[in-house]
Copies of this chain bind each other. A is one copy, B any other.
Amino acid sequence: MERTIRQPLVMVDTALFTIRNERLCLILARRQEPPFEGVLALPGGFVHVEEDADTAMAARRVIRRKIGFDAPYLEQLFTFSGAARDPRGWSVSITYYALIPSALLDQSQVAEALPAEALPPLPFDHPQIVARAIERLRSKATYSSLPAFLLPAAFTMNELHRIYEQTIGARLDKASFRHKILEQGIIEPLSEQFRVGAHRPAQLYRLTSKALTPFERKI
C-alpha cells in the first residue's frame, strides 16, 4: 500500500457543446482562482464527498452553476490522471461532455461560446479533453441521434440536417438524410405544427423514445 496514491485531487471537467451561427461551439469559464486565475478554461470543479453515487452528480453541479439548468445530454468522456496535469499535485479528472441547445441559453452565454475549431490556448490538459470530446461527438453522430440534443425540443428536418452536417463535418444528401432519419424512427412529426416564414412552412419534429437517451442509460 505504500506506493499507492495518498491525497489525489479528484475533479470533474466538462466540455459543453452548443451551436452558434450554425457552428459547433464550446462554453468556457474564466477561472476564478489559481492556478491560471483569469484564464478561459473548461468548466470544472472538485468532487464533493456527498456526491457519493457517481461523479455525474458533480458534473451536473458544475454545469448548473455555469448555465443555470441541467444539460439535456450528458455523458462521461474519459478520465485523465497523473502528477503532471495539474501543478497542485497528483490528480484525477473525470471528464464529461454535454450538449446544450442554444435556445435554452441566455443570449450572453451564447455570445461567449467559442468555435470548437478555434479555441484560445487552454490550461492544464484541457486541449486533450476538447480533442477527445469532439472526436466522440463526431463518432457518435454518424450512428445515433446525438446531434439532435443540440436542438430545442421542436425542430425542422432542415435544422436537424444542418446540425448533423456541422457535427460530422461533412455534406449529407438531403433526401437520403430525411429518408434514413425517418426510417430509424428517432423523430416524429408534431401534428399540425410548422415553422413559418417567407417560404413553405416546415414540419416540426420531436425526438421519440427510440432516440439515444441521456446519460447513456439503456432501458
Contact = CB atoms under 8 A, between A and B. Distances in A.
Interface of A: 1, 3-10, 46-55, 76, 78-84, 90, 92, 94, 135, 143, 218
Nearest to A78: B76
Contact of A52 (B50, B51, B90): B90
Complex copy number for this chain: 2
A8 B44 CA distance: 19
Given A4-B48, A48-B5, A218 B135 contact: yes
Given A3-B48, A5-B10, 16 more contacts: A1-B46, A4-B46, A4-B47, A5-B46, A5-B47, A6-B7, A8-B10, A10-B81, A47-B81, A49-B90, A51-B82, A52-B83, A53-B84, A54-B80, A76-B79, A143-B143
Contacts of A8: 8, 10
Given A79-B76, A92-B92, A84 B7 contact: no
Contacts of A51: 82
A40 to B, nearest CB: 23
Contacts of A7: 6-7
A8 B80 CA distance: 16
Contact of A4 (B49, B79, B92, B135): B49
Nearest to A94: B79
Most chain B CB within 10 A, of A9, A10, A80, A84, is at: A10
A83 to B, nearest CB: 4
Contacts of A46: 1, 4-5
Complex A-B, nearest 3 residue pairs according to Cβ-Cβ distance, in ascending order:
A52-B83, A4-B46, A79-B79
Contacts of A55: 79, 81
